[in-house]
Amino acid sequence: MAKQQRAISNPLALAVLALLRERPMHPYEMAATMRERGKHHSIKLNYGSLYTVVDALERHGLIVPRETVREGRRPERTVYELTDAGRAKLDGWLRDLLRRPVKEYPQFEAGLSLMATLPPDEVVTLLTERVRRLEEEIARLRAGLDAAAAQGVPQIFLIEHDYELALKEAELRWVRDLIRGIQEEALTGVDWWRGFHAQGGAHRDDERREEEPVSN
C-alpha cells in the first residue's frame, strides 16, 4: 500500500497514468504517443523526468511492470500497466486540477515585480518588443487551430491550445495598457519612478552610502 512518501506532483506523471489507462506501454512509447498527440505542448516532457516519474509511480504502487521484453538485441523494454490505485489516483488528481485553480509563478510576473529596477523608458522599449512577439505567437497559434479545424480535427482535442490562445490575448491587451499607462503617467508612481532613475538611481528611501557609482 506504499506508505506515506512525498506525493508525486509532476504533471507528467498524470499523463503517464492517462496513457496507461488506454493500454499498457513502455516509457519510450508513452513519450512517442504524447508527441504524436501534441500533448508535450501542454505537459513538459523530457526523457530524464519520464523515467524518474515512472519509477516514482511504481514505488507508490500506482503502476506495475507487466513484462520486460527484448526484441533482437535492442535495450530491454519494460511495459507497465495501471493498478486500481493508479486508476483512482488518475481520476482524483484530474478532478482536482479542473476543480481548483492553483497558485503558479509565471516568470513574467517575477519580471514585473522587479521592473522598477530598470528605467521606465527602457521598460517601455522592452514591453513593446514583447507586444510584437506576443502578436506573432498568437498568429501562429490561431493559424494552427484554424488548420486543424479545416482538417476536421474535433475542437475538444485541442481545447488546451484554445486556452493558451485566450490567455495570450489577455496578456497582450494588458501589456498594451501598461505601456500606455507608463508613457502617459496614468499609473500612480510613474513620476516617482522616472525621477528616481533620472538622478542616478541610488538608495531608495534611506540615505547613507554614496559609493556605488551606478557603474553599469
Q: What is the largest CA-CA distance in the chain?
A: 75
Which listed residue (2, 32, 35, 44) binds its own copies by CB under 8 A? 44
Residues 76-95 close enough to bind DNA by CB under 7 A: 76-78
**What is the closest distance, in whole angstroms, from the C-beta atom of residue 119 to its own copies in the complex?**
11
Which listed residue (7, 59, 174, 180) binds its own copies by CB under 8 A? 174
Q: Judging by beta carbons within 10 Å of its beta carbon (0-12, 13-18, 19+), is residue 53 exposed, middle or buried?
A: buried
**What is the closest distance, in whole angstroms, from the C-beta atom of residue 190 to DNA in the complex?**
32
Per CB under 8 A, 7 contacts its own copies: no
State residue 82 phi and psi, 5-degree precision: -80, 145
81 in Cβ contact with 24 (< 8 Å): yes
| Helix (H), strand (E) at residue 63 | strand 63-69
Place of cell 490505485: 85
Binding string, residues 72-101; x marks residues near its own copies by CB under 8 A = ------------x--xx-xx--xx-xxxxx
Residue type (1 letter), 168: K
Per CB under 8 A, 123 contacts its own copies: yes
What are the CA-CA distances from residue 161 to residues 42, 45, 211 (Å)?
8, 17, 51
**What is the closest distance, in whole angstroms, from the C-beta atom of residue 51 to its own copies in the complex?**
19
199 in Cβ contact with 186 (< 8 Å): no
Which listed residue (65, 189, 195, 200) binds its own copies by CB under 8 A? 189
- Site residues (CB under 7 A) for DNA? 5-6, 8-10, 12, 26-29, 31-32, 44, 46-49, 51-53, 56, 71-78
